[in-house]
Chain A
Amino acid sequence: MADEVILLNFCPSVFGMRIRIALAEKGIEYEYREEDLKNKSPLLLKMNPVHKKIPVLIHNGKPVCESLIAVEYIDEVWKEKAPILPSDPYQRAQARFWADYVDKKVYAAARNVWATKGEEQEAAKKEFIEILKVLEGELGDKPYFGGETFGLTDISLIGYYCWFYAYETFGNFSIESECPKLIAWAKRCMEKESVSKSLADPHTVYDFVLGVKKRLGLE
């Protein structure tokens, strides 16, 4: 039986990008459905009744919610090609730890950068850069977080790269000047087709954030 794979997503979502990258890495054909978050589809509400959020991976009618869980699911189901997690349990634990770190730290810190002004924004920028520096430290001189091959931690973080233009513009700072190795890593990831085709255009993201700021009165 042919697999039926559907991804419910919203283009600028860094979380959706993770799943898109994983599907592309494995060469999996799927149906992409863009959700209007102000008017969520009945399918989305049915497939993710608890959080009512994107992204949702639907495989043969069964939903997998939460982007990192979906990425691991993809790795386990389509295990013959392009492994996303290493096989060694300790290396796997490291990959999961750092993906979890990205989840716990980056989103909230990044949001504060574009959603605040003045002193609050300066503090937010500082915190955001500190978090990126911790990640840069973990990367070290390796080509990817897992070493020689692109993997879970890379997938968990790279989506934010297309948001950097928006952060830098709204925050009036340069991420590259603070974290050059991280930007070099990001550019290296972007050379992979699975990544470059899955990330949103930075100007699209910028316009989206501008729209949110206007709607929330945060200009």
Chain B
Amino acid sequence: MAEEVKLFRTWSSPFPLRIVWALKLKGIEYETILEDLQNKSSLLLQYNPVHKKVPVLLHNGKPILESLVILEYIEETWKQHPLLPEDPFEKATARFWARFNDEELLPSIWNASTKQGKEQEEAIVQVEENLKYVEEELKGNVFFGGETIGYLDLAFGWLANLVSVLEEVTGLSLTASGKFPLLSAWMQNFSDAPVIKECWPPRDKLIIRYQAMIEKYTAVAAPK
């Protein structure tokens, strides 16, 4: 039976981008269904009634949700170009850092970008602490996966283009400061990898989008 693989995503969101990368690295053909989160399709709501979010991977009609869960599903279903290490301890370590990205690093960078005054200063300190951990986790390798791109590179991948977008929009210097040379080198290597490079959303559109998002958040938070 021919495989039918569909991916519900938006043009800009970093979470579905992880899935695009994984599918491309494994050479899996799929159909993209672009969503407008201000006007979600009935299909999206049908397949993800709990969270109503992208990404949703549809494999032969069955939905899989949550980007890190989807990455594991893809890994277990299509065995070529493995993304996760085989050793259980190394696997657990990769999963730990992916979770760290989603629960600590990403929110801290968002906070640093959207908060003001003392709250922003504290957020920036947190970001630097978090980035230090990420830099150490590279352990001098080219990629988090070692010689080749793996699961953890895909989890951290959003850093490689969105951080510079946020820095341009906010004027902050997070990785551009040069404080994290290994991480900066990884961002360049990751960005330049052919499968990754061809998928980046257009930078000028991203700048406009994040400018608007940050203005909206800071306007809401600003004291009246």
Contact = CB atoms under 8 A, between A and B. Distances in A.
Contact of B77 (A65, A70, A89, A97): A89
A72 B65 CA distance: 18
A101 interface: yes
Nearest to A73: B92
B89 A64 contact: yes
Contacts of B133: 50
B50 interface: yes
Contacts of A90: 59, 62, 64, 73
Given A50-B133, A62-B89, A73-B88, A93 B69 contact: yes
A73 B90 CA distance: 10
Interface string B86-100: 001101100110011
Contact of B96 (A65, A76, A96, A97): A65
Interface residues of A, number: 21
Contacts of B73: 89-90, 92-93
A24 to B, nearest CB: 19
A131 to B, nearest CB: 10
Interface residues of B, number: 21
A64 B99 CA distance: 13
Secondary structure at chain B's binding surface: helix, strand, loop or mixed? helix
Contacts of B66: 96-97, 100
A89 B60 CA distance: 13
A127 B95 CA distance: 29
Nearest to B69: A96
Contacts of A184: none
A69 B65 CA distance: 18
A75 to B, nearest CB: 9
Contacts of B96: 64-66, 69
A111 interface: no
A123 B66 CA distance: 27
A70 B99 CA distance: 13
Contacts of A59: 89
Contact of A73 (B69, B77, B89, B99): B89
Interface of A: 50, 59, 62, 64-66, 69-70, 72-73, 76-77, 89-90, 92-93, 96-97, 100-101, 134
27 contacts: A50-B133, A62-B89, A64-B89, A64-B92, A65-B96, A66-B96, A69-B99, A70-B92, A73-B88, A73-B89, A73-B91, A73-B92, A76-B88, A76-B91, A77-B88, A90-B62, A90-B73, A92-B72, A92-B76, A93-B70, A93-B72, A93-B73, A96-B66, A96-B72, A97-B65, A97-B69, A134-B50
Interface of B: 50, 59, 62, 64-66, 69-70, 72-73, 76-77, 88-89, 91-92, 95-96, 99-100, 133
